[in-house]
Amino acid sequence: MTSPTHSPATAVDSGKESTALPAQPDQQQMALERTYLAHERTLMAWVRTGASLVTFGITLSKFFEHIYETETARRPLRIFGPNAIGVLMVVLGVATLLTASWQHRGAMRRLGVYDHAPLISPALVLNLLMACLGVVFLLSHFLEF
């Protein structure tokens, strides 16, 4: 026994077939949503890049700080030693994260999505938290607390 197949657009209601289709979403609204999500993905790519710079810079700086404290190795007399390169990477990571936040906010303002979207997206919050982590490291590194 095979049952008759119906297309998804038709429904059987009390023996009658109706062709009621769901309302089509507004094409302009869908384009706006796709653009918004594309900006969110771009921001997350910048978060990955900035977070990588910050965390690798912290790791590099702390590794060489540990080496110099526990070993008899002398600190290099060069201005741009491994520790300084780690700190510069953290500075670059923080600058990357703050620039990405600024660019994202500007793009959202130009899109005009603040009328119906949250003011702060989770990607933006994560971005700013990573920037704060870098700033805290820099403060602790230079103020020695």
Q: Each residue of 53-90: pLDDT tens digit?
A: 999 998 888 888 777 777 666 666 566 777 788 889 99
pLDDT tens digit string along 77-124? 566 777 788 889 999 999 999 999 899 888 888 887 666 656 678 888
Note the pTM of the prediction, 2 decimals.
0.69
Instruction: Decide if 130 contacts 97 (C-beta within 8 A).
Output: yes
| Distant-in-sequence contacts of 93-96, Cβ < 8 A, 24+ apart | 93/50, 93/51, 93/52, 93/53, 93/54, 93/55, 93/57, 93/130, 93/134, 94/50, 94/54, 94/131, 94/134, 94/135, 94/138, 96/46, 96/49, 96/50, 96/53
